[in-house]
Structure 1
Protein backbone atom coordinates (compact mmCIF):
# COMPACT_ATOMS: atom_id res chain seq x y z
CA UNK A 1 0.00 0.00 0.00
CA UNK A 2 1.27 3.48 -0.88
CA UNK A 3 1.04 5.42 2.39
CA UNK A 4 2.54 8.81 1.50
CA UNK A 5 -0.72 10.50 0.52
CA UNK A 6 -2.72 8.87 3.30
CA UNK A 7 -0.24 10.13 5.90
CA UNK A 8 -0.21 13.74 4.71
CA UNK A 9 -1.81 16.36 6.95
CA UNK A 10 -4.08 18.29 4.59
CA UNK A 11 -5.60 20.67 7.15
CA UNK A 12 -3.57 23.83 7.73
CA UNK A 13 -5.59 24.41 10.90
CA UNK A 14 -4.45 21.02 12.22
CA UNK A 15 -0.83 21.92 11.46
CA UNK A 16 -1.22 25.21 13.35
CA UNK A 17 -2.90 23.41 16.23
CA UNK A 18 -0.05 20.91 16.43
CA UNK A 19 2.65 23.60 16.33
CA UNK A 20 0.85 25.55 19.03
CA UNK A 21 0.86 22.47 21.28
CA UNK A 22 4.49 21.39 20.80
CA UNK A 23 7.07 22.93 23.10
CA UNK A 24 10.27 21.99 21.28
CA UNK A 25 11.16 22.45 17.63
CA UNK A 26 14.48 21.97 15.85
CA UNK A 27 16.06 24.51 13.55
CA UNK A 28 18.72 23.42 11.06
CA UNK A 29 21.23 25.87 9.60
CA UNK A 30 24.49 25.38 7.68
CA UNK A 31 27.74 26.02 9.55
CA UNK A 32 30.97 27.52 8.22
CA UNK A 33 32.23 24.09 7.14
CA UNK A 34 29.07 23.27 5.19
CA UNK A 35 27.64 20.88 7.78
CA UNK A 36 24.05 21.14 9.02
CA UNK A 37 23.70 22.25 12.61
CA UNK A 38 20.49 21.25 14.38
CA UNK A 39 19.44 23.04 17.58
CA UNK A 40 16.36 22.36 19.74
CA UNK A 41 14.46 25.57 20.42
CA UNK A 42 11.35 26.89 22.08
CA UNK A 43 9.17 28.53 19.43
CA UNK A 44 5.80 30.04 18.63
CA UNK A 45 3.88 29.97 15.35
CA UNK A 46 2.36 33.41 14.75
CA UNK A 47 0.97 34.99 11.60
CA UNK A 48 2.16 32.02 9.51
CA UNK A 49 5.78 32.28 10.70
CA UNK A 50 7.99 30.59 13.29
CA UNK A 51 9.48 32.86 15.95
CA UNK A 52 12.27 31.87 18.35
CA UNK A 53 14.27 33.89 20.85
CA UNK A 54 18.01 33.55 21.25
CA UNK A 55 21.10 35.13 22.76
CA UNK A 56 22.45 37.94 20.60
CA UNK A 57 25.56 35.91 19.73
CA UNK A 58 25.99 32.30 18.76
CA UNK A 59 26.87 29.87 16.01
CA UNK A 60 23.33 29.50 14.69
CA UNK A 61 23.08 33.28 14.31
CA UNK A 62 26.37 33.31 12.41
CA UNK A 63 25.10 30.48 10.23
CA UNK A 64 21.88 32.33 9.39
CA UNK A 65 23.82 35.51 8.62
CA UNK A 66 25.81 33.61 5.99
CA UNK A 67 22.94 31.52 4.64
CA UNK A 68 19.36 32.34 5.53
CA UNK A 69 17.90 29.12 4.11
CA UNK A 70 16.97 26.92 7.08
CA UNK A 71 14.99 23.87 8.03
CA UNK A 72 12.63 23.55 10.97
CA UNK A 73 10.74 20.57 12.33
CA UNK A 74 8.57 19.56 15.27
CA UNK A 75 7.41 16.04 15.99
CA UNK A 76 5.58 13.96 18.55
CA UNK A 77 5.86 10.22 19.05
CA UNK A 78 2.36 9.15 20.03
CA UNK A 79 2.83 5.44 20.58
CA UNK A 80 5.41 2.77 19.92
CA UNK A 81 3.72 -0.32 18.50
CA UNK A 82 5.62 -3.46 19.51
CA UNK A 83 6.05 -6.12 16.86
CA UNK A 84 4.04 -8.67 18.84
CA UNK A 85 0.88 -6.68 18.13
CA UNK A 86 1.13 -8.31 14.69
CA UNK A 87 3.35 -11.37 15.12
CA UNK A 88 5.06 -12.95 18.16
CA UNK A 89 8.28 -13.58 16.20
CA UNK A 90 8.71 -10.97 13.43
CA UNK A 91 10.55 -7.95 14.87
CA UNK A 92 10.29 -6.07 11.55
CA UNK A 93 6.61 -5.38 12.25
CA UNK A 94 7.36 -2.91 15.06
CA UNK A 95 5.97 0.53 14.19
CA UNK A 96 5.22 3.98 15.61
CA UNK A 97 2.24 6.32 15.60
CA UNK A 98 3.36 9.94 15.26
CA UNK A 99 2.71 13.52 14.13
CA UNK A 100 5.36 15.71 12.47
CA UNK A 101 5.68 19.02 10.64
CA UNK A 102 8.70 19.91 8.48
CA UNK A 103 9.41 23.40 7.16
CA UNK A 104 11.93 24.75 4.67
CA UNK A 105 12.10 28.50 5.00
CA UNK A 106 13.91 31.81 5.02
CA UNK A 107 15.24 33.02 8.36
CA UNK A 108 15.77 36.61 9.40
CA UNK A 109 16.50 38.59 12.56
CA UNK A 110 13.59 40.76 13.67
CA UNK A 111 14.63 44.36 14.31
CA UNK A 112 11.22 46.03 14.53
CA UNK A 113 10.47 46.47 18.23
CA UNK A 114 6.73 45.97 17.84
CA UNK A 115 7.27 42.66 16.07
CA UNK A 116 9.83 41.58 18.67
CA UNK A 117 7.30 42.42 21.37
CA UNK A 118 4.62 40.40 19.56
CA UNK A 119 6.94 37.40 19.34
CA UNK A 120 8.07 37.52 22.98
CA UNK A 121 4.51 37.91 24.27
CA UNK A 122 3.45 35.08 21.97
CA UNK A 123 6.11 32.86 23.52
CA UNK A 124 4.97 33.80 27.03
CA UNK A 125 1.32 33.10 26.20
CA UNK A 126 2.27 29.69 24.81
CA UNK A 127 4.60 28.53 27.57
CA UNK A 128 2.97 30.29 30.54
CA UNK A 129 -0.76 30.23 29.67
CA UNK A 130 -1.72 30.66 33.32
CA UNK A 131 -0.48 34.25 33.16
CA UNK A 132 0.89 35.81 36.36
CA UNK A 133 3.26 38.15 34.52
CA UNK A 134 3.20 41.65 33.09
CA UNK A 135 3.17 41.63 29.27
CA UNK A 136 6.39 42.75 27.61
CA UNK A 137 6.30 46.30 26.24
CA UNK A 138 8.13 47.57 23.17
CA UNK A 139 10.10 50.14 25.17
CA UNK A 140 11.62 47.60 27.56
CA UNK A 141 15.39 47.11 27.56
CA UNK A 142 14.96 43.33 27.44
CA UNK A 143 14.26 43.65 23.72
CA UNK A 144 17.88 44.73 23.22
CA UNK A 145 19.19 41.71 25.15
CA UNK A 146 17.68 39.03 22.90
CA UNK A 147 17.59 38.17 19.23
CA UNK A 148 14.35 37.09 17.63
CA UNK A 149 14.71 34.66 14.75
CA UNK A 150 11.81 34.57 12.29
CA UNK A 151 11.32 31.76 9.78
CA UNK A 152 8.93 32.35 6.91
CA UNK A 153 8.01 28.96 5.42
CA UNK A 154 8.65 28.37 1.73
CA UNK A 155 7.34 24.82 2.06
CA UNK A 156 5.42 23.34 4.97
CA UNK A 157 4.50 19.66 5.16
CA UNK A 158 2.80 17.69 7.88
CA UNK A 159 2.52 13.93 8.35
CA UNK A 160 0.55 11.89 10.84
CA UNK A 161 0.03 8.22 11.46
CA UNK A 162 -2.82 7.41 13.83
CA UNK A 163 -4.24 4.31 12.16
CA UNK A 164 -6.05 6.11 9.34
CA UNK A 165 -4.34 3.75 6.86
CA UNK A 166 -6.03 0.70 8.41
CA UNK A 167 -9.38 -0.95 7.79
CA UNK A 168 -11.91 -0.20 10.53
CA UNK A 169 -11.64 -3.63 12.13
CA UNK A 170 -7.84 -3.48 12.11
CA UNK A 171 -7.89 -0.01 13.63
CA UNK A 172 -10.14 -1.24 16.44
CA UNK A 173 -7.82 -4.20 17.03
CA UNK A 174 -4.84 -1.84 17.19
CA UNK A 175 -6.65 0.39 19.67
CA UNK A 176 -7.48 -2.60 21.85
CA UNK A 177 -3.82 -3.64 21.86
CA UNK A 178 -2.76 -0.11 22.83
CA UNK A 179 -5.30 -0.10 25.65
CA UNK A 180 -4.13 -3.50 26.88
CA UNK A 181 -0.44 -2.50 26.81
CA UNK A 182 -1.39 0.59 28.86
CA UNK A 183 1.67 2.74 28.23
CA UNK A 184 1.91 6.20 29.79
CA UNK A 185 0.70 7.74 26.50
CA UNK A 186 -2.00 5.19 25.66
CA UNK A 187 -5.03 7.20 26.78
CA UNK A 188 -3.99 10.33 24.90
CA UNK A 189 -3.09 8.32 21.79
CA UNK A 190 -6.48 6.60 21.78
CA UNK A 191 -8.20 9.97 22.07
CA UNK A 192 -6.26 11.29 19.06
CA UNK A 193 -7.20 8.11 17.18
CA UNK A 194 -10.88 8.87 17.86
CA UNK A 195 -11.56 6.44 20.71
CA UNK A 196 -12.94 6.91 24.20
CA UNK A 197 -12.36 4.52 27.09
CA UNK A 198 -15.79 3.55 28.41
CA UNK A 199 -16.21 1.10 31.31
CA UNK A 200 -12.77 -0.35 30.64
CA UNK A 201 -13.52 -0.85 26.95
CA UNK A 202 -13.28 1.23 23.81
CA UNK A 203 -15.81 3.25 21.87
CA UNK A 204 -15.03 4.99 18.59
CA UNK A 205 -16.53 8.45 18.78
CA UNK A 206 -14.75 10.10 15.86
CA UNK A 207 -12.99 9.20 12.62
CA UNK A 208 -10.36 11.97 12.61
CA UNK A 209 -9.10 13.02 9.22
CA UNK A 210 -6.40 15.63 9.17
Structure 2
Protein backbone atom coordinates (compact mmCIF):
# COMPACT_ATOMS: atom_id res chain seq x y z
CA UNK A 1 0.00 0.00 0.00
CA UNK A 2 1.33 3.44 -0.98
CA UNK A 3 1.73 5.84 1.99
CA UNK A 4 -0.04 9.21 2.22
CA UNK A 5 -0.20 11.08 -1.08
CA UNK A 6 -0.82 14.81 -1.51
CA UNK A 7 -0.47 17.13 -4.51
CA UNK A 8 -1.62 20.77 -4.55
CA UNK A 9 -2.95 20.59 -8.12
CA UNK A 10 -5.34 17.66 -7.83
CA UNK A 11 -5.66 17.21 -11.60
CA UNK A 12 -1.99 16.15 -11.71
CA UNK A 13 -2.22 13.80 -8.74
CA UNK A 14 -1.49 10.10 -9.28
CA UNK A 15 -2.42 7.30 -6.90
CA UNK A 16 -1.94 4.31 -9.18
CA UNK A 17 0.83 2.09 -7.75
CA UNK A 18 1.56 0.58 -11.17
CA UNK A 19 2.08 4.01 -12.77
CA UNK A 20 4.44 5.00 -9.95
CA UNK A 21 6.38 1.73 -10.20
CA UNK A 22 6.75 2.05 -13.98
CA UNK A 23 7.95 5.63 -13.66
CA UNK A 24 10.58 4.78 -11.05
CA UNK A 25 11.73 1.74 -13.01
CA UNK A 26 12.36 4.05 -15.99
CA UNK A 27 14.19 6.82 -14.07
CA UNK A 28 17.96 6.44 -14.31
CA UNK A 29 18.68 8.45 -11.19
CA UNK A 30 17.05 10.48 -8.45
CA UNK A 31 18.18 13.14 -6.00
CA UNK A 32 18.58 12.38 -2.30
CA UNK A 33 18.39 15.40 0.01
CA UNK A 34 19.76 15.47 3.54
CA UNK A 35 20.54 18.04 6.24
CA UNK A 36 24.27 18.14 6.99
CA UNK A 37 26.15 18.47 10.27
CA UNK A 38 26.02 22.28 10.02
CA UNK A 39 22.24 22.22 9.55
CA UNK A 40 22.63 23.02 5.85
CA UNK A 41 20.89 21.22 2.97
CA UNK A 42 22.92 18.67 1.03
CA UNK A 43 21.63 16.96 -2.12
CA UNK A 44 23.26 14.24 -4.18
CA UNK A 45 22.17 12.32 -7.30
CA UNK A 46 22.00 8.56 -6.78
CA UNK A 47 21.18 5.41 -8.69
CA UNK A 48 18.36 3.51 -7.00
CA UNK A 49 15.60 0.98 -7.25
CA UNK A 50 12.08 1.03 -5.85
CA UNK A 51 10.62 -1.99 -4.10
CA UNK A 52 7.56 -2.37 -1.87
CA UNK A 53 7.14 1.41 -1.49
CA UNK A 54 10.74 2.00 -0.38
CA UNK A 55 13.84 3.37 -2.11
CA UNK A 56 17.10 1.39 -2.05
CA UNK A 57 20.54 2.78 -2.88
CA UNK A 58 24.18 1.96 -2.22
CA UNK A 59 27.25 3.91 -1.19
CA UNK A 60 30.94 3.64 -0.36
CA UNK A 61 31.68 3.06 3.32
CA UNK A 62 32.88 6.61 3.95
CA UNK A 63 32.25 10.13 2.72
CA UNK A 64 30.00 13.10 3.39
CA UNK A 65 26.75 11.29 2.61
CA UNK A 66 27.57 8.50 5.08
CA UNK A 67 28.61 10.98 7.79
CA UNK A 68 25.34 12.88 7.47
CA UNK A 69 23.13 9.77 7.45
CA UNK A 70 24.78 8.49 10.64
CA UNK A 71 23.92 11.74 12.43
CA UNK A 72 20.55 12.45 10.82
CA UNK A 73 18.87 9.59 8.93
CA UNK A 74 15.81 11.57 7.85
CA UNK A 75 15.74 12.42 4.16
CA UNK A 76 13.69 13.21 1.10
CA UNK A 77 14.13 11.88 -2.41
CA UNK A 78 12.77 12.90 -5.80
CA UNK A 79 12.85 11.24 -9.21
CA UNK A 80 11.70 13.06 -12.35
CA UNK A 81 11.21 11.87 -15.91
CA UNK A 82 11.10 14.79 -18.37
CA UNK A 83 8.89 14.69 -21.42
CA UNK A 84 8.36 17.36 -24.09
CA UNK A 85 8.84 21.06 -23.59
CA UNK A 86 5.63 22.72 -24.78
CA UNK A 87 6.48 26.10 -26.35
CA UNK A 88 4.11 28.99 -25.75
CA UNK A 89 3.36 29.38 -29.46
CA UNK A 90 1.76 25.93 -29.54
CA UNK A 91 -1.12 27.57 -27.66
CA UNK A 92 -0.73 31.32 -28.11
CA UNK A 93 1.57 33.13 -30.52
CA UNK A 94 1.81 36.31 -28.42
CA UNK A 95 1.83 35.32 -24.73
CA UNK A 96 4.89 33.61 -23.21
CA UNK A 97 2.96 32.42 -20.15
CA UNK A 98 1.57 29.44 -22.05
CA UNK A 99 4.97 27.71 -22.22
CA UNK A 100 5.25 24.59 -20.08
CA UNK A 101 7.08 21.34 -19.43
CA UNK A 102 5.49 17.91 -19.45
CA UNK A 103 6.93 15.57 -16.82
CA UNK A 104 6.24 12.82 -14.31
CA UNK A 105 7.70 12.94 -10.81
CA UNK A 106 7.56 11.21 -7.46
CA UNK A 107 8.68 12.74 -4.17
CA UNK A 108 9.36 10.76 -0.99
CA UNK A 109 10.10 11.51 2.64
CA UNK A 110 11.31 8.95 5.14
CA UNK A 111 14.05 7.55 7.35
CA UNK A 112 17.20 5.86 6.05
CA UNK A 113 18.14 2.44 7.44
CA UNK A 114 21.27 0.43 6.68
CA UNK A 115 20.76 -3.12 5.40
CA UNK A 116 23.31 -5.33 7.18
CA UNK A 117 21.96 -8.80 6.46
CA UNK A 118 24.35 -10.23 3.84
CA UNK A 119 21.67 -12.24 2.02
CA UNK A 120 19.35 -9.23 1.77
CA UNK A 121 22.24 -7.02 0.78
CA UNK A 122 23.12 -9.35 -2.11
CA UNK A 123 19.47 -9.68 -3.14
CA UNK A 124 18.92 -5.92 -3.27
CA UNK A 125 22.23 -5.20 -5.03
CA UNK A 126 21.24 -7.82 -7.59
CA UNK A 127 17.88 -6.06 -8.03
CA UNK A 128 19.75 -2.81 -8.62
CA UNK A 129 21.77 -4.50 -11.37
CA UNK A 130 18.63 -5.96 -12.94
CA UNK A 131 17.19 -2.46 -13.21
CA UNK A 132 20.24 -0.93 -14.89
CA UNK A 133 21.53 -3.97 -16.80
CA UNK A 134 18.44 -6.09 -17.53
CA UNK A 135 20.22 -7.94 -20.33
CA UNK A 136 22.40 -9.72 -17.75
CA UNK A 137 26.00 -10.48 -18.67
CA UNK A 138 27.19 -11.00 -15.09
CA UNK A 139 27.06 -13.68 -12.40
CA UNK A 140 24.28 -13.28 -9.81
CA UNK A 141 25.46 -11.31 -6.78
CA UNK A 142 26.08 -13.84 -4.00
CA UNK A 143 28.28 -13.48 -0.95
CA UNK A 144 29.73 -16.96 -1.50
CA UNK A 145 31.05 -15.87 -4.90
CA UNK A 146 34.71 -14.91 -4.40
CA UNK A 147 34.36 -12.26 -7.10
CA UNK A 148 31.85 -10.37 -4.95
CA UNK A 149 32.74 -11.05 -1.30
CA UNK A 150 35.21 -8.18 -0.84
CA UNK A 151 33.09 -5.73 -2.83
CA UNK A 152 30.01 -6.52 -0.75
CA UNK A 153 31.98 -5.81 2.43
CA UNK A 154 33.04 -2.44 1.02
CA UNK A 155 29.57 -1.32 -0.06
CA UNK A 156 26.84 0.04 2.19
CA UNK A 157 23.24 -0.62 1.18
CA UNK A 158 20.54 1.74 2.41
CA UNK A 159 16.76 1.66 2.51
CA UNK A 160 14.79 4.90 2.56
CA UNK A 161 11.71 3.67 4.40
CA UNK A 162 9.07 6.02 3.12
CA UNK A 163 6.48 7.72 5.30
CA UNK A 164 5.14 10.11 2.65
CA UNK A 165 4.93 10.06 -1.13
CA UNK A 166 3.61 12.61 -3.61
CA UNK A 167 3.25 11.63 -7.28
CA UNK A 168 2.68 14.27 -9.94
CA UNK A 169 2.14 13.57 -13.64
CA UNK A 170 1.83 16.85 -15.54
CA UNK A 171 0.39 16.25 -19.00
CA UNK A 172 -1.96 19.18 -19.56
CA UNK A 173 -4.85 17.56 -17.67
CA UNK A 174 -6.04 21.06 -16.74
CA UNK A 175 -6.62 21.96 -20.40
CA UNK A 176 -9.75 21.18 -22.39
CA UNK A 177 -10.08 18.07 -24.53
CA UNK A 178 -10.13 20.26 -27.65
CA UNK A 179 -6.95 22.12 -26.63
CA UNK A 180 -5.13 18.87 -25.98
CA UNK A 181 -6.17 17.42 -29.33
CA UNK A 182 -4.67 20.52 -30.95
CA UNK A 183 -1.51 20.15 -28.84
CA UNK A 184 -1.17 16.50 -29.86
CA UNK A 185 -1.39 17.52 -33.52
CA UNK A 186 1.45 20.02 -33.09
CA UNK A 187 3.61 17.57 -31.17
CA UNK A 188 3.04 14.99 -33.89
CA UNK A 189 4.09 17.51 -36.53
CA UNK A 190 7.29 18.28 -34.60
CA UNK A 191 7.81 14.53 -34.50
CA UNK A 192 10.66 13.87 -32.06
CA UNK A 193 10.88 10.62 -30.12
CA UNK A 194 10.13 12.40 -26.84
CA UNK A 195 7.11 14.06 -28.48
CA UNK A 196 5.70 10.63 -29.36
CA UNK A 197 6.15 9.51 -25.75
CA UNK A 198 4.47 12.71 -24.54
CA UNK A 199 1.53 12.19 -26.89
CA UNK A 200 0.93 8.75 -25.39
CA UNK A 201 0.86 10.22 -21.90
CA UNK A 202 -1.46 13.10 -22.86
CA UNK A 203 -3.83 10.63 -24.53
CA UNK A 204 -3.76 8.42 -21.44
CA UNK A 205 -5.04 11.28 -19.29
CA UNK A 206 -7.52 12.82 -21.75
Whether these two folds match at TM > 0.5 is yes
1:143 to 152, 157, 161: 152
Please list the CA deviations of residues 25-82 of structure 1 after superposition, one character each: whole Å capped at 9, or x if unmatched: 1100111111111100100112321111111111111111111110000001111111
Please list the CA deviations of residues 80-104 of structure 1 after superposition, one character each: whole Å capped at 9, or x if unmatched: 1111112222112111111000000
Query: Does 2:15 correspond to 1:10?
Result: yes
CA distance in structure 1 between the aligned counterparts of 2:180 and 2:124, rounded to whole angstroms: 41
Contact 1:107 1:149 in 2 (8 A): yes
Aligned position for 1:79: 84
CA distance in structure 2 between the aligned counterparts of 1:30 and 1:14, rounded to whole angstroms: 30
> 5+ unaligned residues in a row in structure 1: which ranges?
195-206
Within 5 Å, give how 1:87-166 maps onto structure 2.
87-139=92-144, 140-166=149-175
Contact 1:26 1:39 in 2 (8 A): yes
Please list the CA deviations of residues 103-135 of structure 1 after superposition, one character each: whole Å capped at 9, or x if unmatched: 001002211111111110001100000011100
> 5+ unaligned residues in a row in structure 2: which ranges?
1-7
CA distance in structure 2 between the aligned counterparts of 1:192 and 1:4, rounded to whole angstroms: 18
TM-score normalised by length of structure 1: 0.88
CA distance in structure 2 between the aligned counterparts of 1:183 and 1:39, rounded to whole angstroms: 31
CA distance in structure 2 between the aligned counterparts of 1:164 and 1:4, rounded to whole angstroms: 10
TM-score normalised by length of structure 2: 0.89
Contact 1:46 1:122 in 2 (8 A): no
Query: Does 2:182 correspond to 1:173?
Result: yes
CA distance in structure 2 between the aligned counterparts of 1:137 and 1:181, rounded to whole angstroms: 48
1:67 to 72, 76, 89: 72
Contact 1:109 1:148 in 2 (8 A): yes
CA distance in structure 1 between the aligned counterparts of 2:205 and 2:137, rounded to whole angstroms: 35
CA distance in structure 2 between the aligned counterparts of 1:63 and 1:71, rounded to whole angstroms: 13
Contact 1:27 1:38 in 2 (8 A): yes
CA distance in structure 1 between the aligned counterparts of 2:18 and 2:92, rounded to whole angstroms: 37
User: SS at the partner of 1:51?
Assistant: strand
Contact 2:83 2:194 in 1 (8 A): yes
Query: Does 2:50 correspond to 1:41?
Result: no
